[in-house]
A = this chain, B = another copy of it.
Amino acid sequence: MKKTTAPTMKDVAAEAGVSLGTVSKVFNHIPVGDVYRQKVEQAASKLGYQVNSYARGFKTNRTQTVALVWPTLRNPFYCYLADALVGTLMSRGYRAIVTITNYDSQAEQECLNMVRQNKVDGVIALTYNPNLEVDPALPFISIDRHFRAGVPCVASDNFGGGQLAAQKLIELGCQRLLFLGQGSGLANETDKRRTGFEAACQAKGVPFDALFLENETGFAPFEPFLVEHTRNGAFAYDGIFCSTDRLCYEIRKRLYALGVRVPDDVQMIGFDGIYRFDSEDLHCSTIVQPVQDIARTAVDLLLNENGASLPALVCLPVRYQSGGTTREAL
């Protein structure tokens, strides 16, 4: 597909009046004098010369390509993060290869093997596979999950978010709090939403209960608990913190079916910050994750351009936003 008329590095050298070696150095980011670099860049721009990244991949062992190993692009939060990561990588001159695993451990390993064939410069993964075999030489950043020594994890301040949710519900007048959560059972950063919530309830001396369902499919398994704790349309708790906005939506729907009104009878706070259709409307009051900050931090750590020693974990600040399931004072 390469046009036969495409300019070559030789053409650029002739146009710039420099040696072929100088042109090669500039394209491979090897330092040369500023004057030479400018001459080469101007000549390349004038001729419309495009660096052949494949050839560069061979020469410098860098491909300017980063792989995302991602569960899905159907969950809105994963979409927001992927959008921010691809945008951040592009703004740094990197291409993003996106692979989708549908939460399947084996597919994750296959994705990693596939992108390694392509010699990517690094991987950013949101993985559900604790046994993933990663080439230790391949820069690797994990989102939300601790992976192993040497692999930095970037996440929201989940503990702080859990605390904030409890504090908000208490501030809004709730006196009997409930945490509802659901997850894969793999230890991960998002577990701290619960511990933060419980710590804040204890600190404030407010009674609370917690129900965490592990490895359950769907939301029906929450129904017996909701039914048991509802009598004549009155729910046993007046404030609920759900581990995700999605869970908050599903619980609210089921409470509504039981005659419990949100936010009149029960106030609810979720976690993530999902907007309907990317409008300004949240699905619920929520702890908003700092998507852009997570993306920027993950890319910074992956490229690690100043060669700093890598942290094990970076937690980024969250914020509370009211979204219709709490009774804010007007």
Contacts and interface: CB of A to CB of B under 8 A. Distances in A.
Size band of the interface chain A makes with B: 35 or more
Given A72-B83, A96-B99, A274-B277, 8 more contacts: A3-B137, A51-B117, A52-B119, A73-B73, A74-B79, A90-B99, A246-B279, A249-B277
Interface in A273-330: 274, 276-279, 281, 283
B3 A135 contact: yes
Copies in the complex: 2
A116 to B, nearest CB: 7
Given A50-B113, A54-B119, A98 B86 contact: yes
A218 to B, nearest CB: 10
Interface string A97-114: 111101000000001011
A115 interface: yes
17 contacts: A3-B137, A50-B113, A52-B117, A52-B119, A54-B118, A72-B278, A73-B79, A73-B80, A74-B80, A82-B98, A90-B99, A90-B114, A95-B114, A95-B115, A95-B118, A246-B277, A277-B283
A93 to B, nearest CB: 8
A57 interface: yes
Contacts of A115: 95
A76 interface: yes
Contact of A54 (B2, B54, B90, B102): B54
A36 to B, nearest CB: 22
Nearest to A73: B83
Contacts of A223: none
Contacts of A111: 90
B277 A117 contact: no
B61 A1 contact: yes
A206 interface: no
Interface string A42-68: 000000001111100110010101000
A250 interface: yes
A138 interface: yes
A3 B138 CA distance: 11
Contact of A277 (B87, B138, B245): B245
A75 interface: yes
Contacts of A80: 73-74
Contact of A250 (B75, B95, B279): B279
A97 B96 contact: yes
Contacts of A114: 90, 95
Nearest to A55: B58
Which residue, of A53, A83, A102, A115, has the highest number of chain B Cβ atoms within 10 A?
A83
B74 A86 contact: no
B74 A83 contact: yes
A4 to B, nearest CB: 11
Contacts of A116: 50
A234 B117 CA distance: 63
A277 B76 contact: yes
B61 A54 contact: no
